[in-house]
A = this chain, B = another copy of it.
């Protein structure tokens, strides 16, 4: 059993990580919206950016309630999350949408692996911050339709998704190495076994939307 102090550090690190991920997702999605060439694409990406910002604000408010400085809680994760985005710059809107779908799904998978180890209140906050307001399903449909209509695009997006998952696991590994609080959430299973499961789920999702692997 963890002590109260350690439970509080875990909460701060978990919320700090998610807050940093959400604020950065806002910036990146908004930049993708800015680069999109059609109004339709701008608006889809803009809405996803706004959703990420709203989730960031809720996490920041929870951190303040815990008595934490939100910026201090986010700072340890800034570099790894920034690297993930630097190494995965979408070339166009369909890659940007694939990135939202892949990255949000992986973040949710990581959380499923950790959910058993946190208290009910923490779980509620995290689940709210990962709720996608139905966009995952809409994105999956849109990507499946695009892949079915164009086999070369399906192949390009398959490679792109593979790169995204590789980057995500690499940065997650850095974070787990740096933050004992978060590594501990994986429990008995260990980080490597969890990564294997995250990868399996990713592969299954890619098959569902007909991306070539």
Chain A residues engaging chain B, CB cutoff 8 angstroms: 23, 26-27, 30-31, 33-34, 38-40, 42-43, 46-47, 49-50, 53-54, 56-57, 60, 70-71, 74
> Is A27 in contact with B23, judged by CB distance below 8 angstroms?
no
User: Quick one: closest B residue to A40, CB to CB?
Assistant: B71
Contacting pair A30 B49 (CB below 8 A): yes
List, in ascending order, chain B residues with CB within 8 A of A23's CB.
39, 42-43, 46
18 contacts between A and B (CB under 8 A): A23-B39, A23-B42, A23-B43, A26-B33, A26-B46, A27-B30, A27-B46, A30-B30, A30-B33, A30-B34, A30-B49, A31-B34, A46-B53, A46-B56, A47-B57, A50-B50, A50-B53, A50-B54
- Tell me the number of copies of this protein: 2
**A56 surroundings in chain B (CB, below 8 A):** 43, 46
CA gap between A21 and B26 in the complex, in Å: 20
- List the 4 closest pairs (A to B, CB-CB), nearest first: A30-B30, A39-B71, A27-B34, A50-B53
CA distance A39 to B53 in the complex (A): 13
Nearest residue (CB) in B for A30 is: B30
A60, B43: Cβ atoms closer than 8 Å: yes
Assembly CA distance A161 to B42 (angstroms): 29
User: Which B residues are CB-close (under 8 A) to A39?
Assistant: 23, 70-71, 74
Chain B residues near A74 (CB-CB < 8 A): 39
Which residues of chain B are within 8 angstroms of A53 by Cβ–Cβ distance?
Answer: 46-47, 49-50
Q: Which residues of B contact A34 (CB under 8 A)?
A: 27, 30-31
The CA-CA distance from A43 to B63 in the complex, in Å, is 15
12 further A-B pairs in the complex, CB-CB below 8 A; given A23-B46, A30-B34: A23-B43, A26-B30, A26-B33, A27-B30, A27-B33, A27-B46, A30-B31, A40-B71, A43-B60, A47-B53, A49-B49, A50-B53
Distance in angstroms between the alpha carbons of A49 and B27 in the assembled complex: 10
Name, among A27, A33, A42, A60, the residue most crowded by chain B CB atoms within 10 Å (CB to CB). Answer: A27
